Amino acid sequence: MSKTGKFFLWFALVGALAAVGIGIALVLQYTETRKVLVDTQTAKHLDEQIIAKDNKDIAGLNADKADLTSKLATANSNITDLNSQLATAQQQAKDAAAALQTANAATKTLQDTLDGINKTLNGRTADELVNDEAKALSDLQAAQAEQKILQDNLQESQTEVATLQDALRRSKTASMPPGISGKVTFVDPVWNFVILDVGIAAGVVPNGELIVYRGNNFMGKVRVTKVDNNDAVAEIMPDIKGNIQIGDKVIN
């Protein structure tokens, strides 16, 4: 074999060995790369699991945080309510203390009043004092009523006296004016008097005499013994003819 043939054979052998070496290197590199890829995918999967777990944990923490935030808000609200209740209770306690002080003062005043009443009672019971007061009031009212009656009687008596005095004055200074006309309204044959429906207003005066007629018949006379403003009492004179009746006419 020539040197050139040997060279090419040697070159081919070297190239084949190189190719084999390169192939082995490539196979080893592929294997390594595949292992790295598998390891990388495995690591990625583990990372994804870890991330998922971390996300789940974060979600749980966020939920716990939200729950804690809600509980904190509730706790703050409860604290506010408790503070308000405390303030109300303190104010009520203050008001109760003031009311107690007022009640104590009122109690002392009432006790002083009671002591004064007991001193005034001087051994008598309250019922006895009330009964005495009621009796005194009743006696006072009775006395006032009696006084009113007496005052009314006095007024009537004074009025009657004035009327009689005026009638007496008129009977002494002048006779009854002509034209008096009235009627008999009552007859008492036992006591021999009549009541007439005319009085001072018509000019009738005590001791004045009036003629009694029944229709056109002359019955006799009556003499006035007592006179008021609109009526009069008269005695029946002895010369009367027959019995005077209610409705008989009287004139002067």
Between strands 232-236 and 193-196, the pairing is: antiparallel
- What's the pLDDT score for residue 173? 41
Contact status, residue 217 vs residue 175, Cβ threshold 8 Å: no
Alpha-carbon gap, residue 153 to 214, rounded angstroms: 38
Our measurement of the distance from residue 230's CA atom to the centroid of its chain's CA atoms, rounded to an integer in Å, reads: 58
- Name the H helices within 174-227: none
Q: What is the pTM of this model?
A: 0.35
- Under CATH, which architecture does the 176-251 domain have? Beta Barrel (2.40)
Average pLDDT, the chain: 84
Report the alpha-carbon distance of residue 43 to residue 167 in Å, rounded. 151
pLDDT of 180 reads 96
- pLDDT, position 171: 54
Token readout for 52 is 């998922």
Kindly provide the residue ranges of all beta strands, DSSP E only, lying in 140-216, ordered along the sequence: 181-188, 193-196, 209-214
Ranges of each domain in the chain: 1-121, 124-174, 176-251
| CA neighbor of 210 nearest in space, from 176, 185, 247, 163 | 176
Q: Which residues of 2-32 are buried (b: 16+ CB within 10 A; e: fewer)?
A: eeeeeeeeeeeeeeeeeeeeeeeeeeeeeee
65-91 pLDDT, tens digit each: 888 688 878 867 877 877 788 888 789
